[in-house]
Each structure stands twice: as C-alpha cells, then as structure tokens.
Amino acid sequence: MDAAVDLGITTFDTADSYADGRAETLLGRALRRHRRSTVEILTKVYKPTGPGRNERGLSRKHIMAAIDGSLRRLGTDHVDLYQAHRYDHTTPLAETMEAFADVVRAGKARYIGVSEWRASEVRAAHPLARELRIPLVSNQVQYSMLWRVIEAEIVPACDELGIGQIAWSPMAQGVLTGKYRPGEAPPAGSRTDDGFGAAMIARYLGEDLLRRVQELRPIAEGAGLTMAQLALAWVLRNPSVATAIVGASRPEQLAENVKAAGVVLDPAVVTAIDAVLDPVVERDPAKTKSPPTRP
C-alpha cells in the first residue's frame, strides 16, 4: 500500500463482502499511515455479509447497517464513494436511493455509485438521485480488450447522464498479461487455483483466445509497452473511463502498471489489436446483469 501511494496511486477500492470484511480491515490499517485527505476510499454494499436475509441486498435496513460496519472496519468516518455492488431486484429502487441519500446526508459517504448495472437501471436511478440531491457519479464495470459489453448501451447512457465508468478487470483476470499460454498448464499460484478466481477466468482460457492474446505481444513491444501496460492503456484511452482498478502482489507490478497512465496509443496500434482479437471479443450488452434474487 505504501508503494502504491509513493507511485501516486491514491484511490483504493474494496467491498464489505471481500474476504468476509477482512479486506476493509486490512485496507483501513494500511491507510492509517497516510493523511485521510490524501486518499480516496471506495467500498460497496449488496453481497452477503452474514447468514441472515437482512445481511445482503440494498434494503434500507441493510444499507444503514452496512455503511456503519464498513466505516468501523476501515477506521474512518466516511468513504469517498459508496457503491451498490449489484442491482437489487427485490428492493424497490426508491427505497435504495433514499437510504443512499441518508448515508450522504449523514456525512458517511461523499458520493454514490453503482456496479454492473444495466443502462435501464442506471436511467431509472438517475432521476431519483437528482430529486434526492445526491451525486450519483459512477458505474463500476468489467471492461477490457476482451470484454466490451458496456460499449453498446451502458456507456452511451452514462455519458448522457454524466456518470463515469470505473473499469475492473482491465487485464481480463490477468490473461492479457500473456502469462497464460495455449497448450500449457496455467502458472502455479494463478487465479485458476482459487475457486472464485477459476470461475471468473474460465471464459478466457480457450485455446484460440489464448493464441490470439499471444499475438498481441509484438504489438505491445512495437509500442514500447509490456502486455499489461498495453491492456491498461487500451482501457484508459476510452474517454468514458474515469479510472481502472488493478491489483498487484508485488511492488514491481505496481510500478509497471502505473506507467500505463498517460500513454496515448497510436490509432494503428488500436486497429492492430482489433484485427487480432475481434473474433473472441465479447460485446453482448445482455452479459451485464445482476442476479434475479439476492445471493
């Protein structure tokens, strides 16, 4: 964490459900070494934080309890962005937005965001937020060279409403780094060894897709970039993307990733990327969805 701040990274994203709340606790401990005004803390609510039916979703009861739990674990009196981790089809949207408004008015969150909401859901929430005078500013979405489902509907809707995109998995679960190779076993200790990670990465492990990703290597080298930097620069070139979320297990990875900020890709590079990946890119906007019932 200290290495990230030293590199100019000041925004940190987590969720109350990550590692059963331990992710917030660890983040809070790490950030206590830094002045609160110099960092932005983002967290989320929706996914289960316990076995009870009221310990999940976007009901008023859960939101009001969840924000207090997050603040306690993070060791702060407010978060900069409080995000609805998914859309809750069980709770009336007006109830959810009114609860978020009370969180903002209580000074416990500065801004409100959503994550993986469809265009229609964002459009429904925006006028409620405006009426309640709360700033709905972001939609956190999966976005990468390989996963472009937001481009057809979500981005145009959010652009119209002044809502920015926070891109998660910009390297497609690490596949766009090139470390997963066709015909070879995944590297030891990779996401494929983790139950949740294995499910997330499975869609990207087809032989044709992995072969095409390897064809990006000379494109990256020609641009003077690593594969990871190319993937990040591609995401950040989209003017609708406010920021991209990256993870790192070593300070050297952070140092490499941060170099992608400010990179301007030549149009010929973008064209070459599309020529290689087009047959394996996912673009179906219906892939953005929340579960019909709470998890």
- What's the fold here for domain 1-142? TIM Barrel (3.20.20)
Task: Return the pLDDT at 189.
Answer: 65
How do residues 188-201 score in pLDDT, each as one tens digit? 766 665 666 678 89
- Over pLDDT 90: what percentage of the chain? 89
In this prediction, residue 295 carries a pLDDT of: 87
Of residues 17, 135, 27, the one with CA closest to residue 76: 27
Tokens 């790490």 label which residue? 30
- Name the pTM for this structure: 0.95
Tokens coding 153: 């509907």
Which pair of structure tokens corresponds to residue 104? Answer: 């903002």
Question: Could you tell me the residue ranges of all domains in the chain?
Answer: 1-142
Active site residue: 18, 87, 111, 180, which one? 18
Alpha-carbon distance of 29 to 25, in angstroms, equals: 6
Specify whether 18 is catalytic.
yes
Hey, what amino acid is at 6? Answer: D
Tell me the pLDDT tens digit for each residue of 90-129. Answer: 999 999 999 999 999 999 999 999 999 999 999 999 999 9
